[in-house]
Chains A and B, each alone.
Chain A
Amino acid sequence: MTRVLLIEDDIWMAQCYKQWLAADNIVVAHALDAQSGLEVLDQYTPKAIVLDMALPYANGVQVLHALQSHHDLADIPVIVCSSTVPSDMPSLTQFGVVQVLHKATLHPRVFRHAVKQAINRAAV
């Protein structure tokens, strides 16, 4: 079973994403903040990470830095999914970000496609 980590502080929004990915038999582990997300990564390595940038206390950029600081986490593909996202994609690529999604215009099929692409990238 394919597992993805979702770091998102809005519970209802996270449940929407879980339902969308359930259609593709992708299981989602949900963390409400950066610290909880890193604790999940202590337990197992997901195929991909979906990351909101606006999180309590530590923001998404700090999460990206933390991921890059661990050799076993640095290669996990990250999809940034946020309402407040910098459009400077090249600067995020160095942090393992493979795609940036804007919540305001996000469609479930686009989200599912992005996650499946990231998982396939991790499999290569």
Chain B
Amino acid sequence: MNSMVRLEGEFAQWAAVAHELKSPLVLIKHLSDTLIEKDVYLTTQQQIEYANRIKLTAERMLRFTQHMSLGFRLHSENQAVFAFATEPVNINEVCQSVAHDYTPLAYACGQELRVQSLRRNCVAIANRDILYDIIANLTDNALRHNAPKGIVHLQASRRGSKVRLQVADQGNEVTRQEYLRLQHTIGKQMQPLSGRSGTSGIGLYIVGQLAHAMGGVVGVGRGAIGGQAFFIDMARSSQLQLL
């Protein structure tokens, strides 16, 4: 019985992954058809723009599959395969790195990516690659579901013994019912959000699992100007002298 339940759960995850991969593949197909179709007229600038969109969408899919790989490794029966080290990580540097890598996508989407770093370097106990993957996934989702010409904020903050990395957008807010449910289910169950069509919830689920594996906590809040904010809280390190 337990193995049947496990298989059903695995199938649900695979179905969710397939669903998340389908949309960008369909988009790549449509963008390619637009470039190829002889009856469709595009200026040279538009052709470059469409080719760039194909590239950015493919990159987005690659990052998503990498995110999935990390998540599946967490659930590997042989947990020893996925041992990872934690260390003092400069969270300002992680924010800047994600912003640098996602600025081309933000620009192509007609949106703005703003980083609000801490004035003084702040260090969290984390695995740098996993932390980057978490913030990158949240940023990708924020750009995907943001309002047209909106702003996505990456913000680092600290409070007591914790540091927080937050990604906030100006897109559709989750309903109150979903928001209350997310407080308990984030990282524990896949939960699609009604205001964000095309989502299966698997990305956020894996974010929560990765955060938990690092000893962190993922949460959800409201954006400063509407929209939605997702964050990760981690233990703060006092080892600034290592930076």
Number of residue pairs A-B, CB distance < 8 angstroms: 64
Known contacts A104-B22, A107-B33; decide if A32 and B148 are in contact (CB<8 Å).
yes
Which 3 pairs of residues, A with B, have the shortest CB-CB distance? A23-B39, A16-B30, A54-B197
Interface of chain A residues 5 through 27 with chain B (CB within 8 A): 9-13, 16-17, 19-20, 22-23
Partner of B195, one of A22, A57, A107, A112: A57
Chain A residue with Cβ nearest B175 = A57
Residue B128 interfacial (CB < 8 Å): no
Residue A89 interfacial (CB < 8 Å): no
Q: Does A56 lie within 8 Å of B34, measured CB to CB?
A: no
User: Chain A: residues with CB nearer than 8 A to chain B?
Assistant: 9-13, 16-17, 19-20, 22-23, 32, 54-57, 59, 83, 103-104, 106-109, 112
Partner of A12, one of B31, B37, B41: B31
Q: Does A19 lie within 8 Å of B34, measured CB to CB?
A: yes
User: Chain B: residues with CB nearer than 8 A to chain A?
Assistant: 22-23, 25-27, 29-31, 33-34, 37, 39-42, 53, 57, 109, 148, 172, 194-198
B33: chain A residues at CB < 8 Å are 16, 107-108
B26: chain A residues at CB < 8 Å are 13, 83, 103-104
A11: chain B residues at CB < 8 Å are 109, 148
- Kindly state the separation between the CA atoms of A95 and B57 in the bound complex, as whole angstroms: 34
Distance (Å) between the CB of A18 and the closest chain B CB?
Answer: 10
- Kindly state the separation between the CA atoms of A16 and B35 in the bound complex, as whole angstroms: 9
Chain A residue with Cβ nearest B37 = A108
Q: Does A19 lie within 8 Å of B42, measured CB to CB?
A: yes
- Kindly state the separation between the CA atoms of A108 and B29 in the bound complex, as whole angstroms: 11
For the A-B complex with A13-B26, A23-B40, A108-B37 known, give 12 more contacts whose Cβ atoms are closer than 8 Å.
A10-B27, A11-B148, A12-B31, A12-B53, A17-B30, A20-B40, A23-B41, A56-B194, A59-B197, A83-B22, A83-B23, A106-B30
B30: chain A residues at CB < 8 Å are 12-13, 16-17, 103, 106
